[in-house]
Amino acid sequence: MSKISTKMKRHVKHELKEEGPTIWVGKEGLTPKVTGQVEAQLDRTKMVKIKILKSALLTDTSKAIATRTAEQVGAALVEVRGHVFIIYRRRKKQLETEPTKP
C-alpha cells in the first residue's frame, strides 16, 4: 500500500465529495472481479469511491476490506467512513515506443 500526503488526501476527498460510489463490494466479499474493476477505474480516473454492502461485513470490518483492496491494487487508502472508502493511485507512466527505421 502506498503513502499519500495530507494535502493530496484533502484534494481527493474534495473531488469525490459529491460523487456516489462507483463500485460495490457484495456478499461474496473482495473477489478478483471486483479487484479487476477497481484496477480499471484507477487506470482511468486515479481515484475510486467504493461502498461495502452490509452482507459483506459479516466476516470482515470495513477497515480490513478497504486495506486489503488498497494493498491488492497498489493504491493508497485515503479514507474509510462507515461502509464507504476512497482509494487513490498515481497513473502509471506509459512508455511510448518510437517506430524503428529499417
Instruction: Write the pLDDT tens digit of every residue in 56-84.
Output: 888 889 999 999 999 999 999 999 999 99
Q: Give residue 29's pLDDT.
A: 87
Domains of the chain: 6-88 (3.30.110.60)
The pTM of the full predicted model, rounded to 2 decimals, is: 0.82
Q: Cα separation of 10 and 70, whole Å?
A: 18
Percent above pLDDT 70 for the chain: 87
Across the beta sheet with 23-25, what order do the strands follow? 23-25, 47-52, 84-88, 76-81
Q: Give residue 3's pLDDT.
A: 81
Contacts of 29 (CB under 8 A, 6+ apart): 56, 59, 60, 65
Q: Give residue 95's pLDDT.
A: 46
